[in-house]
Structure 1
Amino acid sequence: MPDQPTAPDRTIATDVCVVGAGPVGLLAALALGRQGWQITLLERRPQPPAGAEPKGPVAVNIVQPVTLHLLDRLGLLDRLTERAGVIPGAEIYFGGHLAARHSYAELDGCPVPHALSIRSFDLVRLLLAELADLPNATVIWDADTRALTPGTGGSSTLTVRTGETTVAVQARFVIAADGRDSTARELAGIPAEVVPSSGSYLDVVVPNPPGWNGIARAHFGTHGYLLETRRADEGLVLVWITDAATAAQVTDGPIEGLVTMLSRVVPRLADWIARHVTDWEQVRRVQHHFVHTKTWSQGNVVLVGDSAHGMHAFGGQGLNTSLQDAACLAEAVDSALRGEDASGIESYEAVRRPFIEAFQSLQVTNTQQPPAAAADEQERAPEFEVLALGQPAIRPLIADAAAFLAADTDQSRR
């Protein structure tokens, strides 16, 4: 349990305190910082050495055009693309037969003509560099948040221990972006259920096959769900998602069983897979969690990203919805700070939450239950247009957020 508050060694007064320096928290902090608000960012990890590269496997995400447009408004897209893998479109297969072919460039209203496969680390590094240029933004590393106390006038005080120092951060708004096991959410008293997926997720990376065109291919069938797509600029990743029992029939045996399964689903790559997948140590297994919260905000504390609605990787919407959240909520918080309208946060949740919960249910269907019969496969596939452009009901808010991110800053607010 969190410690009781202690007398602070120093006090920081800030407009917004963001808890969590992952991509979502950093985007929210940068968006609000560029509007001139005083920003304090708390991160429990130590500050990484300058120029440090991550050790071991790093998280890679497929970022859809609607989300890339938001990053473009921040001036990050060109630099982010340098170390990413470009995905020009997708093909959908049911029972081994091509059912649909999509091109981002031909999708009406698509703001960027491709998706990107990016390392989250690269996005974090870019956002941190941009935040470092703001004189009104402070990052506190190695920050152990121990208490959150509501104050007068709608503000809150976070008691933070960093090294041997106790800091009191007095904030008009608190944005909790500290992940599925959010400390800020717990301290705010917001009930949450964190449920591990009982399904199976594994992936393996192979070099890009000769002549491969970068198209992502999603295969639905009695095996479950298999995705072949780019892994940043590193090669081709094969992702297999299914229920635990189906996976166990393969993973409890030699690696040749996995090679056979992958080759049966993607026969055109059979020789390539057999050549490059030779040991179980090449295969990465990931445990995902679902997060369900009673509310996404309470008082001046707002949850964003995995703190509010953690997801499975199926459909690749975790980072996408979270970054969209951060952009839209930054605009809503900016409006509330200026005293114009404090209802934006609640109305955003009212529009967004039904879609998020429906998508989580779709993920459960595709990850924890035995694969449906071939006739039902199409019902298990997410809509390409919704993945690329966002849910229809939220697109006007995302468009407003894009304009907000690109707006000229006003450094007079202090």
Structure 2
Amino acid sequence: MSVPPPMRSPDLGRQLRAAMRGVPAPVALVTVGPPTRACAMTVNSVVSASLDPALLMLSVHADARVKPHLFAEGRFGVSFLAAEQRWLSETFASARRPTGPDVVRLLGGRCTTAGVPLVDGALSTIECRLVADYPAGDHRVLLGEVIQVLRDSADRTPLVFHRSTYTTVAATEVGRRTTGRSIAMSGRSETTDVCVVGGGPAGLLFALLAARRGRSVLLLEKRADLGGGPPLSPFLHPPTLQVFERAGLLDRLAAGGQRITGVSEHGPDGVTSAWKYGEVPGCAFPYALSVPLAHLSRTLLDALSAEPRVTVRTGVTVRELVPDDSGSYAIRAEDDSEFDVTAGFIVASDGKFSALRKMAGIESDVFEFDRPLLQFLAPRGEEPAPRMRVYRYGENSAWTMPIAGDEQVVLWLADEDELARHREADVRELADKVAAAIPDLTWVMDRITGWDQVTEVRHQVVQPHAWHRENVVLLGDSAHGVHSLGGQGLNMSLQDAVLLAEVLDEAARDRGRLGEYEAVRKPFVESFQRLQMSLPALSSRPRALVSGDDPPPSLVDVMALGQEELRPLFARRSTADR
């Protein structure tokens, strides 16, 4: 029997969409690895196609960004979201959705043995192997063979999309009258001076500083292990080194780090400029320090373990913020069971796509840099005074940064379309292109032999409209996402912690003083963000600096000295800090 071609009618398409809006649909994330190039997308057209064999069917738009990655890898994950994970659906439905290691971090750090990211705490998570692909008008229908069902939290409330909005369903029989869910606080509760949500370095440092000022601190982290992390070695600039010296932790950090003496810029004719930390007037140290992230986290965790006022809880998911009669928020969270936390202050340190920030109703503006940053990990040669090198050859830019051990990272700003073509070829094709553009890097790029040496990073500037609401205050990337140019993301976050610990002493007596943290720090950070957004090297659509705005700070001053208003805090020593 012949099948007639489908009727094409815009009216029928609109009618079908309107009809389907009335049908509740589950909300899921489709994820593709590996972690260094991870991507994810929100979908609500996923069905079980067969039980024997076990097959899952989903529909994605023919132009979906995840599609070429999925086809290339041949494996994907499907995670059905719980009601409190709406923020994940919104994040990965956006055109500015993150990619790479940010995806794994946002989803909770869980991956299959094949490297497919999965949502931690989802209703169910399923790993599939792509076995068939069918054209379906403006979409593609994909058929996946189920490899394993890794989680089934059937007791959780599902996230549902119905009539163009997010909702949920009650697990009750049709027609049976129910009393509805109580909004009262749960039976298990805890009280603390400060609750920190997020166990990255900024959250850990702030917890340490607050505890040493006499405050009880409860730190909640979704990951099960705080001592690990991606294989990164971020730079700690001299102002940040002052903070760790003041806390009595610098010697231990330095034992596992690599000193960087300065920065040199290179062009086709050789060195065009150079500066050293030790030559900047007022710089506290003649070097920066490249420290493995795992070493930094472990140093802070060991310091926290010696503080009797600090409790660290891992494997905890914050479900919601619950307002009380005074206008403050309490936290409802879950580990093995649901519990509530009443805190004088709640510090959101859960990253630039902060779930807690969204729960507090703080909106943000996001600027996405459309030139992906590629990080090549390669050996480095002998160098008596290691330094960061910046190469500018016409429209091409690259950086090399020595890191702890005997390796270096080469940073290359790629073109989106060109990168997609290279992904389908051998990594040597990409390495040869970088070497051809920057001849000085030929000997380094000759040592790039596999895609496992390459990490793709997407950057966003995140600018929340406010840094605090009631007793909730933002810290680090939750308050300001930045580009990694200049190595300022982590440094700014750690320096935030110093100021916030100071301001909280006054805010404990008068909550209105909490605004001083935002008033001092936010204009400086946003000025630096505007500088980054104006650079054509980082984006094909740079934003011009506006006359009348505060002039952006000098990058040398930011790296070597930090924010001028905070410099006395970096240098100050007190018995509370040691």
Shorter-chain TM-score bucket reads 0.7 to 0.9
Query: Equivalent of 1:206, from 349, 367, 378?
Result: 378
Cα-Cα RMSD? 2.9
Match of residue 173 from structure 2: none
- Where does 1:286-301 land on structure 2 (aligned, <5 Å)? 286-301=457-472
> Using the alignment, how far apart are the partners of 1:31 and 1:292 within structure 2?
25
Q: Is the 8 A contact 1:179 1:305 kept in 2?
A: yes
- Asked which structure has the greater CA Rg, the reply is 2
Q: Is the 8 A contact 2:460 2:482 kept in 1?
A: yes
Query: Equivalent of 1:168, from 340, 343, 347?
Result: 340
Which amino acid counterpart does residue 206 of structure 2 have in structure 1?
A: A
Shift of 1:410: 9.9
1:219 corresponds to 2:397: no
Change (3 A) 1:370 1:333: closer
Match of residue 14 from structure 1: 192
Shift of 1:116: 1.2
> Using the alignment, how far apart are the partners of 1:215 and 1:131 within structure 2?
32
Aligned residues: 390
> Using the alignment, how far apart are the partners of 2:402 and 2:263 within structure 1?
11
1:29 corresponds to 2:211: no
Q: Deviations over 1:322-341 (max 9, x none)?
A: 11112111111122114494
Q: Secondary structure at the match of 2:449?
A: coil
Match of residue 140 from structure 2: none
Match of residue 218 from structure 2: 40
Change (3 A) 1:109 1:381: closer
> Using the alignment, how far apart are the partners of 1:304 and 1:387 within structure 2?
20
Q: Is the 8 A contact 2:247 2:577 kept in 1?
A: no
Match of residue 575 from structure 2: 408
Change (3 A) 1:53 1:150: closer
Match of residue 247 from structure 2: 74
Q: Deviations over 1:99-141 (max 9, x none)?
A: 2111111111111110111222211111111111111111121
Query: Equivalent of 1:144, from 305, 312, 317?
Result: 317
Highest RCO, 1 vs 2 (Cα 8 Å, sep ≥ 6):
1
Change (3 A) 1:140 1:149: same
1:132 corresponds to 2:301: no
Pick the structure with more helix per residue.
1
Shift of 1:174: 1.0
> Using the alignment, how far apart are the partners of 1:345 and 1:72 within structure 2?
23
Deviating more after overlay: 307-316 vs 126-135? 307-316
Deviating 4+ runs (over 6 angstroms): none
Which amino acid counterpart does residue 503 of structure 2 have in structure 1?
A: A
Query: Equivalent of 2:256, from 79, 83, 106?
Result: 83
Match of residue 568 from structure 2: 399
Q: Secondary structure at the match of 2:405?
A: coil
Which amino acid counterpart does residue 188 of structure 2 have in structure 1?
A: R
> Using the alignment, how far apart are the partners of 2:430 and 2:270 within structure 1?
21
Change (3 A) 1:170 1:397: same
> Using the alignment, how far apart are the partners of 1:91 and 1:75 within structure 2?
31
Deviating more after overlay: 278-287 vs 106-115? 278-287
> Using the alignment, how far apart are the partners of 2:477 and 2:211 within structure 1?
22
Change (3 A) 1:290 1:228: same
> Using the alignment, how far apart are the partners of 2:241 and 2:452 within structure 1?
33
Query: Equivalent of 1:369, from 528, 540, 559?
Result: 540
Q: Secondary structure at the match of 2:350?
A: coil
Which amino acid counterpart does residue 217 of structure 2 have in structure 1?
A: I
Change (3 A) 1:223 1:343: closer
Identity in percent: 32
> Using the alignment, how far apart are the partners of 2:365 and 2:390 within structure 1?
30
Change (3 A) 1:387 1:362: farther
Query: Equivalent of 1:114, from 287, 291, 294?
Result: 287
> Using the alignment, how far apart are the partners of 2:290 and 2:399 within structure 1?
13
Change (3 A) 1:118 1:67: same
> Using the alignment, how far apart are the partners of 2:184 and 2:210 within structure 1?
30
Match of residue 185 from structure 1: 357
TM-score of the pair, normalised by structure 2 = 0.62
Q: Secondary structure at the match of 2:433?
A: helix
Match of residue 102 from structure 1: 275
Q: Is the 8 A contact 2:318 2:332 kept in 1?
A: yes
Change (3 A) 1:213 1:269: farther
Match of residue 355 from structure 1: 527
TM-score of the pair, normalised by structure 1 = 0.85
Which amino acid counterpart does residue 160 of structure 1 have in structure 2?
A: A
Change (3 A) 1:215 1:381: farther
Match of residue 331 from structure 1: 502
> Using the alignment, how far apart are the partners of 1:312 and 1:211 within structure 2?
28
Shift of 1:234: 4.3
Which amino acid counterpart does residue 575 of structure 2 have in structure 1?
A: D
Change (3 A) 1:33 1:77: same
> Using the alignment, how far apart are the partners of 1:16 and 1:39 within structure 2?
5
Q: Is the 8 A contact 1:143 1:160 kept in 2?
A: yes
Shift of 1:64: 1.1
Q: Is the 8 A contact 1:96 1:219 kept in 2?
A: no
1:383 corresponds to 2:555: yes
Which amino acid counterpart does residue 574 of structure 2 have in structure 1?
A: A
- Where does 1:220-369 land on structure 2 (aligned, <5 Å)? 220-245=392-417, 247=419, 253-264=425-436, 266-274=438-446, 276-339=447-510, 341-362=513-534, 365-369=536-540
Q: Secondary structure at the match of 1:355?
A: helix
> Using the alignment, how far apart are the partners of 1:81 and 1:370 within structure 2?
40
Q: Secondary structure at the match of 2:575?
A: coil
Deviating more after overlay: 313-322 vs 57-66? 57-66
> Using the alignment, how far apart are the partners of 2:304 and 2:260 within structure 1?
28
Q: Deviations over 1:244-282 (max 9, x none)?
A: 2454575554433333333345534523532x2223332
Change (3 A) 1:350 1:53: closer
